Structure 1
Amino acid sequence: MKRISFYPLLFLILSGCNSDSNTTDSNTPSPSPSAPTETVTLAESVKKSLELSYSNHEPQLDRTESLEGTDDDGNGVRDDIDMIISDTDADETVKQALIQHAKSLQNEMKVDWDSLGEEEGKAAMRQLSSDSIRSKRCLMESLGSGFSKVTRTLKALTYNTKARTMHYLKGNKVANGMAFSVGGHENACE
């Protein structure tokens, strides 16, 4: 049998009894509650800037079957992602942190999981994980709270084709059951 409580309803009725008056005891109007102000963190601002830049450059996003894509300048980041990062309104320190993380994501595209033995694969995953944790720590230092939303956006840009996503999942399979250290990354930004 369901129990129905009338206390919340009674509370609402009683709390509304004295709400007709918008004045205080001295007959001066009481201030109206102001609308809550929305605080936008730096991380949220950078995420929105990345999304805006993506929408401006979406037709140029590399969707080829190549896992690595094109990196004409050789900085370790696909040129299309470089373009999106450089088009954000973030300052240079933040852009460098974004590039560092994009590079750590891109490095996984260079690993041929199928040709590595179990121990070699785990060693490669440890190195990739260490680089990723370091780049995330740099983003955390640069952006503060909410940096993980930016990392997810960069991950989505990097693994933007079926072949790249499947490659990422192969890496996850190698990492299954492994433990990774998250400490020891002082001065994380390159």
Structure 2
Amino acid sequence: MQTKTAASLRVMAMGLTIFLTACGGGKSPDKPSNGAEPTVKASRIALDEDTDVRGTDADHNGIRDDIDSFIDISGETPARQAALRQLSAALHQAVTTDVAQTVALKITAGQLNLAIACMWDRFDARQAPTQVTRMEALTANTKERSRAYEAYNKAVSGMSFPLPKGNGCAQ
């Protein structure tokens, strides 16, 4: 019975994360959920504000270089940095996915679901939604990227996706 209860709690927690992520929570990406000063503020990193939705990804790891730099100096543990990178890659995929391609949308949504599950595994229930919202804000930091992310969310609205098995973490 405890396994069923744990699974129910996880489903509720993921639903809450997705809800909070969609709503944005009204918090600044520089404010951590525990009220303490952040280790690193986004303003210390020069964010790529190019009109190109893709941005610069010199190492071709699927994450914009400015966001990669932000994660590098975040002060988080290697396991948490891996979760942030997995989420960042999935969010980057979301803003660059062709919203007319249903299969691509489903693949991207699956990657995003895994990444959010991983965030809930690596961060506590107070930190996970804030970290997800922070990474969304960094990803959609220009009008063009924000519109692309909004178009992605509109395109997947109403679709259903299976919950990830395991913790969702790629690493």
Structures share a fold, TM > 0.5?
A: yes
Partner residue of 1:48 out of 28, 38, 42: 38
Match of 2:122 among 114, 119, 142: 142
Structure with bigger RCO (C-alpha 8 Å, 6+ apart): 2
Secondary structure of the structure 2 residue equivalent to 1:48: coil
Which residue identity is paired with 1:105? L
Which structure 2 residues correspond to residues 134-173 of structure 1 after superposition, within 5 A?
A: 134-146=114-126, 147-173=128-154
Does 1:84 find its partner at 2:70? yes
Identity rate of aligned residues, in percent?
Answer: 27
Q: Which amino acid aligns with 2:114?
A: R
TM-score of the superposed pair, with normalisation by structure 2: 0.73
Query: Is the CA contact 1:46–1:88 (under 8 Å) kept in the aligned structure 2?
Result: no
Matched, 1:70 2:51: no
Other structure's SS at 1:139 match:
helix
Q: Distance in 1 between matches of 2:34 and 2:90?
A: 21
Larger Rg: 1
Q: Distance in 2 between matches of 1:46 and 1:140?
A: 20
Distance 1:45 1:102 in 2: 23
Residues 157/46 of structure 1: CA separation in 2 closer, same or farther (3 Å cut)? farther
Q: Take 2:123 and 2:92, find their aligned partners in 1: how far apart are those partners?
A: 21
**In the alignment, which residue of structure 1 is the partner of 2:113?**
133
Cα distance, 1:47–1:179 mapped onto 2, change above 3 Å? farther
Whole-angstrom CA distance in 1 between matches of 2:56 and 2:37: 24
- The answer to whether the 8 Å contact 2:95/2:152 transfers is no
Flag structure 1 segments of 5+ consecutive residues without an equivalent. Answer: 1-41
Aligned residues: 138
> Within 2, Cα distance between the matches of 1:97 and 1:46?
21
Mapped to 2, the partners of 1:167 and 1:126 lie a distance apart of 16
Residue 98 of structure 2 is aligned to residue 112 of structure 1: yes
Question: TM-score of the superposition, structure 1-length normalised?
Answer: 0.66
Quote the offset at 1:128 in angstroms: 1.2
Q: Does the 8 Å contact 2:96/2:148 carry over to 1?
A: no
Amino acid at match of 1:92: P
Once the two structures are TM-superposed, the CA of residue 46 in structure 1 deviates from its matched residue by: 9.7
- Distance change >3 Å, CA 73–CA 45, structure 1 → 2: farther
In structure 2, distance between residues paired with 1:71 and 1:53: 21
What do you get for the CA RMSD once the two structures are aligned?
2.1
Note if 1:100 corresponds to 2:81. no
